[in-house]
Structure 1
Amino acid sequence: MKKKIIYIISDATGETAERVIRAALSQFYDEDVRVQRLCQIRNEPDVHQAMSVAVREPGMVVYTLVDPHLSQTVERIAEEHGLLVVDLLTSLIYNLSRYLGAPSKEKPGLLYRIDPEYHKRVAAVDFTVKHDDGQETRNLHKADLVLVGVSRSSKTPLSMYLAHKGYKVANVPLVKGIDPPEELFQIDQNKIVGLIIDPKRLVEIRASRLITMRQSPRGKYADYHLVEDEIGYCRQLYRRHPEWMVIDVTHKSVEEASSEIMRRMDLLAQK
């Protein structure tokens, strides 16, 4: 079966629209779909060029254009060629305008404009990448947050998600039989978040990872009893450091766990 395509036509990066689409796609199983962004659409020629791509290889068109004239052009071309088209923004902006009692600015790219907050996020991502998986522990004191946990307990995905929110995050792996770096205990202990996960779920994750890497899932890395020992070691360490926040990530998405962490950070900032 030919792969289905969803085109995103955006006057900015299209990143937000893609997140919405992928969130919706997660509700469907075994659907082979390609999401293609056609971005920085700012005038009529841009619209025609973008839509020509969708016409050549037909697919669903989802657009986020604040200029109503460009939106109308997309709708017209889609109708002429029988393409399914969805407007993600207009209805929301219209109803927000009614609710707020104010007109919209109709300026593209405001969400990702280059401002101090943008530079803060870039710096946070750069820091987080450089301090992933126990790297550069001498700089832990510069981090806004330090995540600790066993291998495959979502340290890196959580770190990157929080970095895109503007937090400088370091993460440190915990390995039974190997002492954590001394620097971990020399920083503000309220900045440390311990991750915990159900051993059975962790075995599943590790076994899947090994299979993906074309390795046997029967080794020590995914052995249930050894994994249980690792989790037990973490729990003991966390009990010795009550200042640390502890989050069970077993049944939490990255977004849910991050929200808990950010609430903690907000509370600390208010003290």
Structure 2
Amino acid sequence: MPRTTNLHLVSDSTGETLNSLSRATLARFEDPHVIQHRWFLVRSRFQLEQVLEGIQAEPGPVVFTLADKSLRHSLEEFCGRLGVTSLSVLDQTLDLLQREIGEAAKEKRAAQHVLDADYFRRIDAMHYVLAHDDGQGTAGIAEADACLVGVSRSSKTPTCFYLANRGIKAANVPIVPGAPLPVELENPPCPIIGLTIEVNALLEIRRHRLKLIGTGGVRQDATDYVDPEAVKAEILAARRLCTARGWPVIDVTRRSIEETAATVLQLMEAWHARSAPPGTPHGANQGPPAR
């Protein structure tokens, strides 16, 4: 029987860093039997005591991000007495940057969540996505950092929301058979990126959607929305349109939303590099930073 490991994630913030780290590392194992215990927003001695009780009840390695020296020392000391491994995941990166920058990092908990300009940029981007989803407010494309186009159900909306969380204003416009594209895409002020998907994958997504919302008495196999040949033609026409316009295309079939968004960010950077005046240093005028 596989061994079960208790993994304790302890943070004085929302735990976003630790969650991402655990997902990335555990994905490298074939079939890990790991029980994750999440202890987030740990900012007081009382809260830490609850964490220590949990670790003692179900011992296992402890991965943490704690800025408070006192809380951190208590956690490390307790783990040492209990005989479990503890690791501060930001230490090596902070040490490296302190050496390179020549400045000591501040002991500031939840530093990535302060209400600074970056925070308000993300909120603004989220509002933008809500107002410009699925072809709404096309005049606002002039304010976009990127615009995603593609057939219905090709993951444009979730990708835009993910990008908004990185501070990117992303509009999305559906490519609908027989319907003209907005005139704003004729001379776009931002990169236009197409999303495509394999026929069978799109059919499965659309059929599931019809089951959820109902088909209004129309048989699923009687509508072009889920007709295999019609869907195949729709995808092909969308790809040809993107090729004719010179828009790069991302196949999202086997990509997670995070992977699609990362590729969008790379394409945005390449677009800004091509659009920059000659002699502009690499990295300058690259549009909004990815958060």
Alignment TM-score > 0.5, same fold: yes
Which residue of structure 2 aligns with residue 17 of structure 1?
18
> Aligned equivalents of 2:36 and 2:137: distance in 1?
37
Length, aligned pairs only:
264
Q: Give the C-alpha shift of residue 149 in structure 1.
A: 0.7
Q: For residues 61 and 131 of structure 1, do their structure 2 counterparts lie closer, same or farther at Cα, with a shift above 3 Å needed?
A: farther
8 Å CA contact 1:203, 1:227 repeated in 2:
no
Which residue of structure 2 aligns with residue 194 of structure 1?
194
Q: 1:203 aligned to 183, 200, 203, which one?
A: 200
Which residue of structure 1 aligns with residue 269 of structure 2?
263
**What aligned pairs does 1:1-271 form with structure 2 within 5 A after superposition?**
6-31=7-32, 35=36, 37-56=38-57, 60-177=61-178, 179-185=179-185, 188=188, 190-197=190-197, 199=198, 202-204=199-201, 206-207=203-204, 210=207, 219=221, 224-242=228-246, 244-249=247-252, 253-267=259-273, 270-271=276-277
> Aligned equivalents of 1:55 and 1:159: distance in 2?
43
Q: For residues 120 and 134 of structure 1, do their structure 2 counterparts lie closer, same or farther at Cα, with a shift above 3 Å needed?
A: same
Q: Give the C-alpha shift of residue 124 in structure 1.
A: 0.2
8 Å CA contact 1:44, 1:73 repeated in 2:
no
Structure 2: which amino acid aligns with 1:257? T
> Aligned equivalents of 1:203 and 1:189: distance in 2?
34
Give the alignment's TM-score, normalised by structure 2.
0.73
Q: For residues 32 and 209 of structure 1, do their structure 2 counterparts lie closer, same or farther at Cα, with a shift above 3 Å needed?
A: farther
Post-superposition CA distance 1:158-209 (Å, at most 9, x none): 21232122121111222323x1453544662644222234x3xx42354267
Q: Tell me, what secondary structure is at the counterpart of 1:111?
A: helix
8 Å CA contact 2:139, 2:184 repeated in 1:
no
> Aligned equivalents of 2:228 and 2:86: distance in 1?
49
> Aligned equivalents of 2:62 and 2:105: distance in 1?
24
8 Å CA contact 1:203, 1:222 repeated in 2:
no
Structure 2: which amino acid aligns with 1:262? M
> Aligned equivalents of 1:34 and 1:151: distance in 2?
38
> Aligned equivalents of 1:206 and 1:176: distance in 2?
16
Structure 2: which amino acid aligns with 1:47? L
Structure 1: which amino acid aligns with 2:74? T
Q: Tell me, what secondary structure is at the counterpart of 1:12?
A: coil
Q: Which runs of 5+ in 2 are unaligned?
A: 213-219, 278-291
* Range with greater deviation from structure 2 (138-147 or 28-37): 28-37
Q: Give the C-alpha shift of residue 120 in structure 1.
A: 0.7
> Aligned equivalents of 1:68 and 1:85: distance in 2?
15
